[in-house]
Chains A and B, each alone.
Chain A
Amino acid sequence: MSPASPTEPNPSGPSRSAASVRLPSPTVSLGRDYLARVERLVPRIRAARERREGAGRGGMAGGGQEFTGYRPYRPGESLRNIDWGLYARLDRPFVRLSRRESGERWAILLDTSASMGVGVPGKLQAAAEVAGALASLGLAHGAEVHLLANDASVFARRPTDLGRLIEVLGGLVARGGDGLGALAAEPARFRESGRVFALGDLLDLEPRELLGPVLGARRGRELVCVQLLAGVELRAVAVHRDAVPDDGVVWVDAESGERRAMELTRAARAGYEAALGRRLAAWGTACARHRATYGSFESTTPFEDVCNAVLGA
C-alpha cells in the first residue's frame, strides 16, 4: 500500500440519494482556514494530554520510539520535548520527532451514507472536519492513520501525507445506504489499528453492531464513538424558520427515500424528542459498558470542541 492511497469517491449525483431525496448538505468543503485551525488544535491537545498523563510520554504514544527528525518548537508545547543539545548549537528550539517502534495505527471509520447529508452544516461536513483533525493529531504523534469511508480509503504514514488525506475528505459525498455498520462489518480492514474512531450519526445500527466487531477483533483496542446529528434531528421544531405548531411535514428518509407525512403537533414533537433521547442514552450506556468513549454532538459544533471532548483534552 502506498503511503497515501486513496480510493476516489464514486462520482455519482452529488445532491440526491438513490431515492432522489434532496439533501441539504451532501458534500464536504475544507478550506485553508480549516487547515490553520487544525494546526492550532493539534499542539493544544498534545500539550493538554501531556499535562494530564505525564511528561515525556504522550498519552497517545506507545513505548519504544524511533527518531524521525526535527521540527521547530511551537508555543504551548512542553519544554521537555525540546532537544536542548540542538538548541545549544543552533540557538533555536527544535523538537525531536519520533514514531513508535511498534507502529501504532489509528483507524478512522467515517460514515458517508446519505443520511450524513442532512443538516446545515451537514453531518458529513462535521464528521470530515473531525476526521481531518484526528488524523493530523495521530500523524503528529507518529501514528499511522487509516481513513476508512464507505467508498474511499486512504492510508497516511507521516505528516506529509496529511494533505492527501484531507483532499480525500474534501471529495466525500453523502450517498447510499451503507454507513458505519458496513464498515464495522469488515474488521479485517483495520485489524492492526490499536485506536479506532467511529464518526457518523449512529442511526443505522445498534450499539452492539459496532462495539462487537470493533472491540472484539483486537484485545486492548481503544474505541471512540463520535455521534453527529443535525439540528432538525435533535429538535423537531427546527424544521424550517417559519414553521408553526401543527404544520404538516413530510419526513423523507435520506437513505431509503421513504416518505412519512405527519402533523408536527406538540405531542408528536415531545414524543420524538423523548424517543431520540432514549436512543442516545442507549449508545452512551453501551459505550460505557465496553469502556469506549462516546460523545454526541450537533453538526454545528466546532470540530475543536468535539476533539477536545472525546480526547479528554
Chain B
Amino acid sequence: MSAPLAELVWSRPVALGALALPLVLLLLARVRREPTVVATGTLAVWREVATPAAASARASRPRVPPATWFFLSALFLGALALAGPRVVAPLGPRTWTVVVDDAPGTELPVDPRDAASPTRREVALEAALAWLAERADENDRVRWLRGDGASLTLAARERPAPEWLAFARPRAAAASGGDVWTRLAAQDRAGSLAITDRAPAAEAPKLAGWFASGGAAVPGPIASGADGVLTWDGVDVHLDRSGDVGGPDARRVVLDERDGELPAQLGGLCEVWSGARGLVLVRGGSDQPAALVVRGAPSDGSPGRAARDGWSARVPGALAAAAPAGAGRVWLRAEPAGRPVVTWTPGLVTVGARALTFDAADPAQVAVSFAELFDAALLAPPGVVPLEARLAAGDPSFRPPRTPARVRSESSTLTEAPLDAWLAGAAAFLGLVGLALLRV
C-alpha cells in the first residue's frame, strides 16, 4: 500500500494573486520599445570608438538585465510566501454510519399484493447504497450498526452480506436495541443515516439523515401465545385459539448444559416461565431450532457477588473470558472487576455460574427479574409482527445526511514544514543579490 502523499495547503490563498505582479513586470520589461534616442554634442567621439549596430536602430525587445531577473524571482517567491504554503498530512477517508432499523415492520413487503415485492428494509437499503455510491469516495468507510449492537465496517460501495442483515429478532420490541430514531439520535452527526420503513413521527435528527421505504399496510399475525394467535385482517383483530405460527420450533425452549452446569434455581424458574408463555421446555443441545436457548458456559472459578433488580447473590465464578458464548449484552455482572456472569443475545441466554446463592430476598423479585430476561431474549415466531408495524408506512421518505468532514491522518509522520519562512528567506536573498548586481 502506498504511503499517503502530503498535501500543500495555502493559509492565505488570496495572496496568490500577487503572483501576477512579477509576471506583469516581466511583460512590461519585455515590451517592445523604440530605441533610446539621445541628443549629444559628442557624436564625433562615438564615431571614433564604436561601430554602428543597425538592429538597435529599430524597435527591439529589450533584454531583461540579470538584476531584474533576481528582483522578479524575489517577488515571485515573496508572493508565494505571503500566501502561506504549508505541507500537511493528507486528509483521511470519511466514515459514514448506517443505523439499520431492525423493527419487525422493516421485514414486511413494501407491496403486499405483489408476491415478489422486496421488503421495506431492502428498499431502504438499496436507496442508501445507491446514494452512498454517488456521494462517498472510494476510500471512505461505512459502519453498519444493527439493533442488537453488532457492527460491521465496509468500504463505501460494499453491501453487507444478506446473512448479516437477516438477524434474529427478539419477540419483545423493547428488548431490541431500541427505536431506530433513538439509536440514530445517539449518532446524530454528519455522515450518519438510518435505513427504516417510515419517516420520523416526532423530532427529526439535526445532522443525520434517513432513507425510509414507506409501504402499504400488511395484514397478518400480530401476536401468538398460549391462548392462540392474534391476526389483523386490515380492519379487525381476530383470535385463533387453534392457530399455530412457526410450528414446534417457535414454541421450544432449550436448556443446554453440555458446556457448563446451570444453577438449579434457574432450571425451575425457566420451566415455570415456559409454561406461562405456552412454550415447551426441553433439555438438550443449543443446535436445535428453538425460540430460546438457556445455555451453561464454562466458568472462570473466581467467586464474587452479583446484584440486580433488588436482589443479590454470591456466585462461584463468572464467564470464562475464552467462552465464545460470552458475547452479547451483559445482563448480570460479578464484583469485583465487573466480570460478566449472564449475557444474552436474541434467542440465547448464556450463564457462566453453576450456582446462585441468593441473599435474603423476595423470591418473586428474582423470578420476575429472570422472566424479563427470558422475555427479552425470546425470539418471535416467524410471521408474527406487531400491529403498529403492519400499519401502512406511508410514502417513501429521504433526507440525506450532512457530508462528514475528512480528518487528517494522525499517524502521518509529516510535520507542517515552515515553507513560508523558507520562501521569504529565499526572496530576501534573491533581492539582495539583485541589489548587489545593480552596484556592480
Contact = CB atoms under 8 A, between A and B. Distances in A.
B193 to A, nearest CB: 66
A251 B40 contact: yes
A22 interface: yes
Contacts of B43: 251-253, 256, 258, 260
B149 interface: no
Select the residue from B42, B43, B55 with max chain A CB neighbours within 10 A. B42
A271 B49 CA distance: 6
Given A247-B36, A252-B38, A275-B45, 12 more contacts: A118-B39, A201-B41, A244-B63, A247-B63, A250-B37, A251-B38, A251-B43, A251-B46, A252-B43, A261-B57, A271-B49, A275-B49
Contacts of A203: 41-42, 44
A122 B287 CA distance: 117
A254 B44 CA distance: 11
Contact of B50 (A24, A232, A259, A272): A272
B310 interface: no
Select the residue from B38, B46, B62, B63 with max chain A CB neighbours within 10 A. B38
Interface in A213-250: 229-230, 232-233, 239-240, 243-250
B13 interface: no
A174 B99 CA distance: 97
A279 interface: yes
A244 B62 contact: yes
Given A263-B56, A275-B49, A21 B39 contact: yes
B50 A115 contact: no
Nearest to B56: A248
B383 interface: no
A244 B65 contact: yes
Nearest to A243: B36
Interface string A12-37: 00000000011110000000000000
A117 interface: yes
A262 B40 contact: no
A276 interface: yes
A263 B37 CA distance: 12
Interface string B44-88: 111111111111110010110100100000000000000000000
A262 B44 contact: no
A203 B42 CA distance: 7
B40 A263 contact: no
Contacts of B39: 21-24, 117-118, 252-254
A268 interface: yes
Nearest to A179: B41
Contact of A259 (B51, B53, B57, B60): B57
Given A201-B41, A258-B43, A249 B36 contact: yes
Contacts of B418: none
Contacts of A116: 41
Question: Interface size for chain B: under 10, 10 to 19, 20 to 34, or 35 or more residues?
Answer: 20 to 34
Contact of B36 (A248, A255, A274): A248
A201 B41 CA distance: 8
Contact of B46 (A23, A118, A262, A279): A262
Select the residue from A248, A254, A259 with max chain B CB neighbours within 10 A. A248
Given A118-B41, A240-B36, A268 B47 contact: no
Given A272-B45, A272-B49, A248 B35 contact: yes
12 contacts: A229-B41, A229-B42, A230-B40, A233-B41, A244-B65, A246-B63, A251-B40, A252-B40, A254-B39, A255-B41, A260-B46, A274-B49
Given A115-B41, A250-B37, A252-B38, A261 B52 contact: yes
8 closest Cβ contacts across the A-B interface?
A: A248-B56, A115-B41, A261-B57, A271-B49, A253-B43, A268-B50, A244-B65, A248-B35
Given A245-B65, A247-B62, A249-B35, A254 B40 contact: yes
A1 B36 CA distance: 48
A265 B63 CA distance: 13
A233 to B, nearest CB: 5
Select the residue from B35, B41, B45, B47 with max chain A CB neighbours within 10 A. B41
Contacts of B47: 260
A251 B54 CA distance: 12
A233 B42 contact: yes
A261 B36 contact: no
Interface string B12-43: 00000000000000000000000111111111
B41 A249 contact: no
A230 B43 CA distance: 13
A243 B68 CA distance: 12
Nearest to B68: A244
A114 to B, nearest CB: 8
A249 B54 CA distance: 10
A158 B40 CA distance: 38
A260 B52 CA distance: 6
Nearest to B63: A246
A268 B53 CA distance: 12
